[in-house]
Amino acid sequence: MRKHIRTTALAATALLAALSLTACGGDENGSDGKSGAAAPAASSTANPDKGKAAEDAKETGGGKADAPAENVSTAAKGSTGRSGSGSGSGKSSSGATGGGSKSPVTCTGSNTKVTVTKVSRPINHLLLTATNTGSATCYAYHAPALRFDDAQAAFPVLRDSIPQAVVTLEPGQSAYASIGLSGEPDGQELHKGTHLAVYFTGKANQGSTGAAAELTLPAGTSWGDNGFVTYWQSEMDDALTY
């Protein structure tokens, strides 16, 4: 009987030990399982915006993220377009400048302002001044053709006054010609004059071209049949040397 009780006690002790080991093993597995279950939660806590970003991406389909990049690209193209336009404008400015350098034309009474004045030296001389009032360069070819009042013949031209080159007038520039009212010999008949028509000649020097300039002569002007007019000169002094 005593032996049976001892055997039963030992069996109970062994059973308690086994239960103890089983409990310990369950704690370890439970700890591992708990740790494994906690990992996703820890990951989510470590990057809380990642899930939100994913949800936003699903809602927007990525459209909002692409929009700024597209706008930058468009702005760059627009900037390039403006730059190209500026370059085009520079070219156009150059073309405008080219427009400013229009093909030269012949000076006439329409694109010049002509004046006549009396000078003290040389004596018995008048000075013609033709100023380019147009927007293009004009050529003052040869000599002005003059007609005093209702004279039938053209006023003589002084051949010795031919310049070395055609007088070229940029807008605002002037050409000059002097009028000798009476030449040699002295004592010829003089005519009182009140009106002077100034005609311009073309390159071929075959008659007048364009409109004439109609001028009122200085008071007391008299002219002789043997007077003269010089070729157009680029300098006033050159015109008044004859």
* Helix, strand, coil % over all residues of the chain, rounded to 5: 45, 25, 30
Per-residue pLDDT of the chain (242 residues; tens, 9 = 90+): 444 444 444 455 554 444 444 444 444 443 444 444 333 333 333 444 444 444 444 444 444 334 333 333 223 333 333 333 333 333 333 333 344 568 999 999 999 999 999 999 999 999 999 999 999 999 999 999 999 998 988 899 999 999 999 999 999 999 999 999 986 666 678 899 999 999 999 999 998 999 999 999 999 999 998 899 999 999 999 999 99
- Give the residue among 204, 199, 14 at the shortest CA–CA distance from 109: 199
List b or e across 200-239, with b for residues whose CB sees 16 or more CB atoms inside 10 angstroms: bbeeeeeebbbebbebebeeebebbeebbbbbbbbebebb
Q: Which residues contact 13 (CB under 8 A, 6 or more apart)?
A: none
- 3-state class (DSSP) for residue 155: coil
3-state secondary structure of 60: helix
| 178 strand-pairing partners | 127
User: Which tens digits make up the pLDDT trace of 134-145?
Assistant: 999 999 999 999
Contacts of 170 (CB under 8 A, 6+ apart): 132, 137
Q: Is residue 129 classed as helix, strand or coil in its secondary structure?
A: strand
pLDDT at position 154 is 85
Residues in the chain, total: 242
Given a contact cutoff of 8 angstroms between Cβ atoms, the answer to whether 174 and 130 are in contact is yes
Nearest-angstrom CA–CA distance, 110 and 8: 145
Contact call for residues 3 and 11 (beta carbons, < 8 A): no
pLDDT at res. 136 = 97
Return the H-helix or E-strand segment holding 138.
Answer: strand 138-148
